[in-house]
Structure 1
Amino acid sequence: MDITSFSDENFDTKEWVNKILQNADVQDKKESYTMSLVMKLQLYVQQVNAALEDTSQQVFMSLPKILRDTKNLQQEALSLQEKMSVVKEEIRQIEEDTGSSIASIEKLDKVKHQLEVAKQGLHESDNWTVLVNDLEEIFDSKDIDNITKKIVGMQKSLKLLVNIEDYEERKEQLEGLKNRLEAIASPFIVQAFTSNNIDQSIVYSKIFSSIDRLPQLLKYYHKCQKDVLVKKWRYQLEIEQDEPITQLIHNYYDVLLSNWHTQSKWLNQVFPSQSSVDSLIDIYIDVFASLDPSPSECVDAAIKQQIDKLGFLHEIKVIIKQFGNNIIEVINNMGGKTGIKKEKLTSLLELIYSPLVVYVSNYSVYEQHVLTQKLSQIKCIKVELPDTIQALGLTIPSVINLARDAKKRCDEITENCGYCGLLKALRVFLTNYADQYRVALRQIDRNKRGSGEEDWTNFQLCFSLLQNTGDVLMNLQKLEKDLTLAVLNFNKKDDSFPVEFKYLMLNQTERKEYESLVKCVTEGTKLSLLDHVMNEFNKLCTDIHNVTYQVVFGPISGYLNSVSSSKTWVQFDDPSFMVDLPDYSFSPQEYITQIGQYLITLPQHLEPFLFRENPSLECALKASDPEYINIEDVEGALADVFLKIIARGTCQSYCDQILTIFELTPAASRQLAHDINYLGDILKDFNLNLTENLKQLMSLLKIPVDQYLQQSAGYTARYVATIRQMRNIKSSG
């Protein structure tokens, strides 16, 4: 029987009993099994009681011994305390009796130490004199090792003579001797450094370390390495003068990179206590500043001979960036990234990228030249006007691709540092492209027919040109989004490159302009990077729409010209003409029926353009007139707006023509009102109405002469007076 669960702090009696009795084997004999369990538990209780009794008896028997041991320990502690007090008192008494004697001993020891120092000083002073005399003889032999040993000995002597009166003089004397040693050793040092002789270089490193002149030796190394690398550049210019400058610079950068690897190992052996990365960066900074002619001058001379200047700059940029990345990688692999100052690394990278700075500043000029040249190769203007408009539509993908290619070039050549220049070049390029559309528009404007003649050919050409312009606008909107997204990504740091390119490829003025652009786009203060271009094409859409309106409205204008002509109304001057005829006796005159027939045929000419889905034309129309913006997205909505504009123009022109009529008889007045009403019926077929002005004129023309003064109240005073004079109605005065 397992009784371990009884020792559990959370023991539950009921749970334990239920668990025991749930055993399947005991379901049929629970009573006997229960009795057996009770007997076992009683037996366990008896065993526990017996164990407790034995343990209690043992503890009781051992208590007297524990008490005796405790009492003995207490007595020993009291005895120890008394002895400690006696010892403490003895120590105090000894200190009082021997205090003055110890002070005397300390004073004598101090005097002894001072005498020993004085003795050593006299010895070293005498040794200094001996070493100086010996050095004068050894200098003549130019034995560098012996001279070094003597100077090291003098250094040790000088450290012990720091308190003598002529210490400074002796210090200057020692520095002079070191200078003489350096002068003797310098030719050998230069030879060892120039030939990369490690053994000899290590010897001189130890010598200069021993005389505390290691920084001076590093200067020798710096100068030797600089001279070697500068001479290699000049030598390369001479032997590779027939090679392109790109290949020449690439080869020299390979030399520099190989030299870096070699010298880093050399430095770690010769100057193990110095940072090889720091030393090499200092050397390379000096080398790039000393190259004559500089890489910038070589690139400047070469680019003048290049036809594809941007292609040439791209080659130079690739070479420079590859070299810069290789240098960064080498530094990182040497563990020098965290050990050098960022300013020093930036200085080196600035010199490496310096050949590109002036060209990034003038990037807009180069990019504009390329884009203008590409645009001139795209033949947009043809002999026939329809061919010109068709050609313009076909050139849109090519023009947009040219703009995207320019964006890609800006990234590849300038790391987007020339973005401001790119935008300037794109504005000029796309504005020049817009001029091609204006040429076509001027051709349409010149080819318009005279007033009163239907001109459906030019009408179709206008809408085709408008559709092409809308296509350009849609593509420009996508391009502008891509340009904006690129600017928003400028602030994302590249952890693999320690310095932002704007500090390497832009001068201070250009950098401020660049940062201002990024700030404007990031903060949303500038909504469009191509605002000037977008405005230009929006205005172009407006101008094309106006010409389209003029083409469509031309016949209507011609028909309306007859309204102000007296010939139109002379037939109504016959006194026999019955004024009191009913309205159905009047029929619309020819001019207004011609207008009606023209308006009825207009939708079928609009159908190819405005009664089907046409995103490009929709974009152009919305840019041309605000009326197209807030319309329902249903088929024919754009056509309804266009018809509304034509109808409004017709009504306004009709009003203007009516107001120029000199005189109307009562019959002519009724006829004119009937003509206006006919136009209203035509417009109702298009779900349009007459304008309020034309309605007023129609109502004033219908008012009987004898009731005119009373019923004209509430109408526009100008219209009331004009119609009254036109109908020869006398005023009340």
Structure 2
Amino acid sequence: MDITVFSEENFDTKEWLNKILEEGEKQDKKENYTMSLVMKLQLYVQQVNKSLEETSQEVLSSLPKIIRNTKQLQEEAEALRFKMGVVQKEITIIENETGKSINTIEKLDNMKNKLEIAKQGLHESDNWAILVNDLEDVFDTKNIEQISRKILGMQQSLKLLVNVSDYEVRKMQLEGLKNRLEAIASPLIVQAFTSNNTENAKVYAEIFTSIERLPQLMKYYHKCQKEVLLKKWRASLEKDQDESVSQWMHTFYNLLISNWHTQNKWFNQVFSNQTSTETLVDIYIDMLTSLDPSFNECIDAALKQVADKLSLLQEIKQTIIQFCNNLNNVIKQTAQVRVDSAKILLLFQAVCNPFISYVNKYGAYEQAHLLKKLSSVNFMQEELSDTIQNLGLSVPSVMDIARESRYRCADITENCGYCGLLIALRAFFSKYVDHFRVALRQIERNKKNVEDWTTLQLCFSLLQISGDVLLKVKQFEKELTETVLEDLNRKFEDVEFKYLILNKEDRREFESLVKCVTEGTKLSLLDHISNEFVSLCSDIHDTTYQVVLSPISSQLNVVQSSKTWAQFANSSFHTSDMPDYSLSPQEYITEIGQYLMTLPQHLEPFLFRDNPSLSYILRAINEEYSTADDTEGALATVFLKLVAKGTCQAFSDKILSICELNYPASRQLSHDIGYLSNVMQDLGLTISDNLQQLSVLLKIPADQYQSQSSGYSARNVAAIRQMRNILSN
């Protein structure tokens, strides 16, 4: 039986009994099994009782001994406390008796120390004079190591003469001697640093460290390394004169990376207690800003010789960024301690600084490139229809040219030249608009006063193409805006490119653009272009309207001619009591009616079919189109309404310009108006209220004119009265 479970803290008697009895159920004789368990438990109880009894006896037998030991320990502690009290009293007595003697000893010790310092000062003062006299002889030998040892001795002596009255004079004297040593050593230092002579350089490093002139030695190293790199730049130009400027830069940048590895290893051997990375960063910053000729001079000369300036700038930018990446990796690999981020920023600014002026001019370069590309597109032809067809075919290629400029801006300027790009795009699309206006002027010159369906089709084609361009410009503008929101703040490592390749003024302009877009300020990047295309489309629509209305206006010219109404002068032929149905419309109005009835079928290819480009531009240029529903033919109905409105207005104007009209002619004119009204009704239109009033006033008999003309426009009533020579009561 396992009785270890009885010692567990969470022992449960019921659970243990149930478990044991469950095992017993498997046995054949349950009663025997239970009796056996009880007997085992009784035996365990007896064993435990026996063990407890034995342990108790042992404890009781050992208690007297424990009590004796405890009592003895208390007695010893009391004796110790008494002895400590006696010792404390003796210490107090000694302090009282010997306190004055100890103070005297301390004073004597201080006096001894001061005497020793004075003695050493006198010795060093005497040593100073000896060293000064010896140095003059040593300087004549120009033995740098001996001179440095003498100066080091004087330097140590001066530290002990800090309280002498002429300390400052001696200090200036020592600095003068150090300057003389530096002047003697400088040619040898330059030679050692220039030739990378490790052994000699180590000697000079030790000497200058010992005389506390290490910063001056570091300046020599800085200057020597700078001159070495500048000479390598000039040698590279002379050697590879036939290479491109980007290849020059690439070669020199590779040389700088190799030089970094070499100098980092050499520097750590010579200047073991200095940081190589920061020193090399300072050297590279100074060197890159002192190149002769500078990168800018070389790039300017190259730009004058190439036609595709943007491709050259793209090569140069890629070369610069590649060098920045390589240099950054080298710094991370070789830096022993964390380098100040501000200094790293200055280094990359020095690398990118030559490119700043070209990012500033990027807009001008891009504009020239875009206009050159646009000039290569074939637009103008001898035939007007061919010109308009070419304009339609040019839309995809023109938009591709515009999109290429967006990708080019990202490649060349990391989108920092976005402001210049927008200026270039505006000039590009403005020039594109000019080609549409040339075509429009050709249409206007070819416009006739007779029925000309060909010109009408050309107008609609030009309007549709313009609308298509505007839709694509809007989509392109959306892409530009998304770029502003998502991809403008590009970074090199943790530094935004705007701090590397933009000057302060361009950076403010760039940040203003980003702020306007990101904060949701109403800003249309190509708003000027959109307005130009809307204005163009409005002009095309006006020309289209004039092309449709010109034949009508030409026919209506006969209305104000006296010859038209001369045939009605014989009233016996046209009696006033003839019914209206006996009258027939005159030729001019039937011509107009036939023209208007024919017009819808010529609108069908453009206005009756699904034409998103034309639909978009019509709704943009005229409010009446914008209120039309989206059903098929709705825009055609609006156009017909405009034509009807113009026709009625022109008819009204011609009628009011008639000088004299007798009653038969007046009835005929009213009948002509009625014919026009019927034509309009067939087209689902109505004539204007003004024309309806004129029709009614023209039919009123002269003797009833006063009574029946009430309620009509006073202007129309007076004009018809005067025209018909009706006397006013």
User: TM-score, normalised on structure 1?
Assistant: 0.88
Structure 1: tracts of 5 or more residues without a match: none
Q: What residue number does 1:281 align with?
A: 281
* Per-residue Cα deviation, 1:449-484 (whole angstroms, up to 9, x for no partner): 12xx21100010111111111111112112212222
- Tell which deviates more after alignment, 307-316 or 536-545: 307-316
- Tell which deviates more after alignment, 165-174 or 717-726: 717-726
* Residue 653, structure 1, aligned to residue 653, structure 2: no
Q: State the shift of 1:683 in Å.
A: 3.0
* Partner SS, residue 290 of structure 1: coil
Q: What residue number does 1:466 align with?
A: 463
Matches within 5 A, 1:318-467: 318-335=318-335, 338-342=338-342, 344-450=343-449, 453-467=450-464
The partner residue of 1:563 within 535, 559, 564 is 559
CA distance in 1, matches of 2:95, 2:590: 142
The partner residue of 2:592 within 591, 595, 614 is 595
Aligned pair count? 725
CA distance in 2, matches of 1:599, 1:562: 18
- Counterpart amino acid of residue 648 in structure 1: K
Distance 1:705 1:47, change over 3 A: farther
CA distance in 2, matches of 1:582, 1:2: 136
* Per-residue Cα deviation, 1:389-443 (whole angstroms, up to 9, x for no partner): 1011111112122222223333323333332222222222211111111111111
Q: What residue number does 2:135 align with?
A: 135
* Per-residue Cα deviation, 1:565-599 (whole angstroms, up to 9, x for no partner): 44555555525645455554445444333333222
CA distance in 2, matches of 1:474, 1:504: 37
- Tell which deviates more after alignment, 279-288 or 535-544: 279-288
CA distance in 1, matches of 2:588, 2:434: 39
Distance 1:220 1:626, change over 3 A: same
CA distance in 1, matches of 2:38, 2:683: 108
CA distance in 1, matches of 2:667, 2:24: 121
CA distance in 1, matches of 2:517, 2:5: 74
Matches within 5 A, 1:180-579: 180-335=180-335, 338-342=338-342, 344-450=343-449, 453-489=450-486, 491-496=488-493, 498-570=494-566, 574-575=571-572, 577=574, 579=576
Q: State the shift of 1:539 in Å.
A: 0.6
CA distance in 1, matches of 2:681, 2:13: 99
Q: State the shift of 1:538 in Å.
A: 0.9
Assess if the C-alpha contact under 8 Å between 1:490 and 1:518 holds in 2. Answer: no
Assess if the C-alpha contact under 8 Å between 1:331 and 1:337 holds in 2. Answer: no
Matches within 5 A, 1:690-705: 690-701=687-698
Assess if the C-alpha contact under 8 Å between 1:222 and 1:283 holds in 2. Answer: yes
Assess if the C-alpha contact under 8 Å between 1:562 and 1:591 holds in 2. Answer: yes
CA distance in 2, matches of 1:16, 1:617: 93
Distance 1:11 1:600, change over 3 A: farther
Q: State the shift of 1:336 in Å.
A: 7.3
Assess if the C-alpha contact under 8 Å between 2:414 and 2:490 holds in 1. Answer: no
CA distance in 1, matches of 2:492, 2:500: 16
CA distance in 2, matches of 1:520, 1:380: 37
* Per-residue Cα deviation, 1:76-122 (whole angstroms, up to 9, x for no partner): 76666666555555544443333333322322222222223223323
* Partner SS, residue 381 of structure 2: coil
| Fraction of identical pairs, as percent | 58
- Counterpart amino acid of residue 435 in structure 1: D
Q: What residue number does 2:610 align with?
A: 613
Assess if the C-alpha contact under 8 Å between 1:392 and 1:437 holds in 2. Answer: yes
Q: State the shift of 1:70 in Å.
A: 7.4
Assess if the C-alpha contact under 8 Å between 1:541 and 1:623 holds in 2. Answer: no
CA distance in 1, matches of 2:425, 2:362: 12
* Partner SS, residue 454 of structure 1: coil
* Partner SS, residue 382 of structure 1: coil
Assess if the C-alpha contact under 8 Å between 1:538 and 1:620 holds in 2. Answer: yes
* Partner SS, residue 644 of structure 1: helix
Distance 1:117 1:608, change over 3 A: same
Q: What residue number does 1:169 align with?
A: 169
CA distance in 2, matches of 1:670, 1:260: 105
* Partner SS, residue 304 of structure 1: helix
- Counterpart amino acid of residue 471 in structure 1: D
Q: State the shift of 1:530 in Å.
A: 1.7
CA distance in 2, matches of 1:19, 1:667: 131
CA distance in 2, matches of 1:648, 1:211: 103
* Per-residue Cα deviation, 1:607-644 (whole angstroms, up to 9, x for no partner): 11122222222223223323222332222222122122
CA distance in 1, matches of 2:27, 2:666: 125
CA distance in 2, matches of 1:92, 1:641: 123
Matches within 5 A, 1:711-730: 711-730=708-727
Q: State the shift of 1:270 in Å.
A: 0.9
- Counterpart amino acid of residue 277 in structure 2: V
Structure 2: tracts of 5 or more residues without a match: none
Q: What residue number does 1:102 align with?
A: 102
The partner residue of 2:630 within 629, 633, 648 is 633
Q: State the shift of 1:37 in Å.
A: 7.4
Assess if the C-alpha contact under 8 Å between 1:349 and 1:504 holds in 2. Answer: yes
CA distance in 2, matches of 1:53, 1:674: 145
**Aligned Cα root-mean-square deviation (Å):** 3.7
* Partner SS, residue 491 of structure 2: coil
* Per-residue Cα deviation, 1:56-76 (whole angstroms, up to 9, x for no partner): 996799587688887777777
CA distance in 2, matches of 1:318, 1:364: 19
Q: State the shift of 1:663 in Å.
A: 4.5
Q: State the shift of 1:684 in Å.
A: 3.4
* Partner SS, residue 689 of structure 1: coil
CA distance in 1, matches of 2:565, 2:30: 133
Distance 1:18 1:211, change over 3 A: same
Distance 1:382 1:576, change over 3 A: closer
Distance 1:224 1:318, change over 3 A: same
Assess if the C-alpha contact under 8 Å between 2:246 and 2:316 holds in 1. Answer: yes
CA distance in 1, matches of 2:520, 2:33: 90
- Tell which deviates more after alignment, 719-728 or 421-430: 719-728
Distance 1:596 1:60, change over 3 A: farther
Distance 1:688 1:33, change over 3 A: farther
